[in-house]
Amino acid sequence: MKILVTGGAGFIGSHLVDRLMEEGHEVRVLDDLSAGDMKNVERWLGNGNFEFIKGDMRDPEIVRKSIRGVDAVFHLAANPEVRIGSQSPQLLYETNVLITYNLLEAMRKEGVKILTFTSSSTVYGDAKKLPTPEDYAPLEPISVYGGAKLAAEALISGYAHTFGFRALVFRLANIIGERSNHGVIYDFINKLRRNPEELEILGDGTQRKSYLHVSDTVEGMLHIFEHFRKGGRTFDVYNLGNEDWITVTEIAELVSEAMGLRPKFRFTGGVDGGRGWKGDVKIMLLSIEKAKETGWRPRMNSYEAVRRTLRELLKSV
């Protein structure tokens, strides 16, 4: 297939590009490099099956130019930072909702018939049912980031049903691994390199969430994409996460151990009952039963994913 990957120089996107290229697809990447890095895809430069377009998806013409001639789109471009929602809601709207609208319009005009979108567990908000299944309701995001992801999902569903193409949505748990440049593990490593004696931990440390390694994430996306392609649904949603979870304090202990340090932990206390920041979902565990029914399951649990990510990031960060 000829596939467009938006955000393909980013953390998850570049790992997806690697797999698609290794499988022999033609891959075109559209990325403005605001969160991505050319180093993540440089191994493919000069390969006849690879094309890179630097461009901002807020420009409809760039999006339409990028989508011409492709068979499918994997839409991963977004601002990945949940916390920015309290600082710049407009930027979150533009880099999640507006760019998705521009992509959908380009798909409609160019006749592209299949879209895969990476959404987020944050669309569930403080779910009262754990593990949380895809049909949980009401969806009540507590961050602008989660609201923007849910708005993008709704637009995608509306366009797919109205204009006759098919769309697959993945609601992702916390994705970690090599090339990540944000998130709690990355932050802890950098904080301890600055001050090995003390580690600031946002919130009360009891935040408990599911973590999935990026290799398992990409494997799940491509496996379920093939399952979806062979089916007949216009629009479908799958959670991708792990069946266990881990606290922020436990992650801090693993990071400290991996770095050979014994820092004093200083908890900020957080907001709204120990959250790291306003809009932080304190407890998250996704049901992955639907994904498992397709034959996929993660190879690593949350603890194993954190340990592997530590090995990877300590080599590169």
The catalytic residue positions are 145
CB 246 within 8 A of CB 209: yes
Report the distance separating Cα 304 and Cα 185, nearest Å: 13
Report the distance separating Cα 215 and Cα 184, nearest Å: 18
Q: In angstroms, how far is CA 76 from the centroid of its own chain?
A: 7
Angle at which helices 248-258 and 302-316 cross, to 10°: 40
CB 151 within 8 A of CB 134: no
Calculate the alpha carbon distances from 179 to 98, 149, 315 in Å: 26, 22, 11
Helix (H) or strand (E) holding 247: strand 246-247
Burial of 122 (0-12, 13-18, 19+ CB in 10 A): buried
Residues 6 or more apart in contact with residue 19 via CB below 8 angstroms: 218, 219, 222
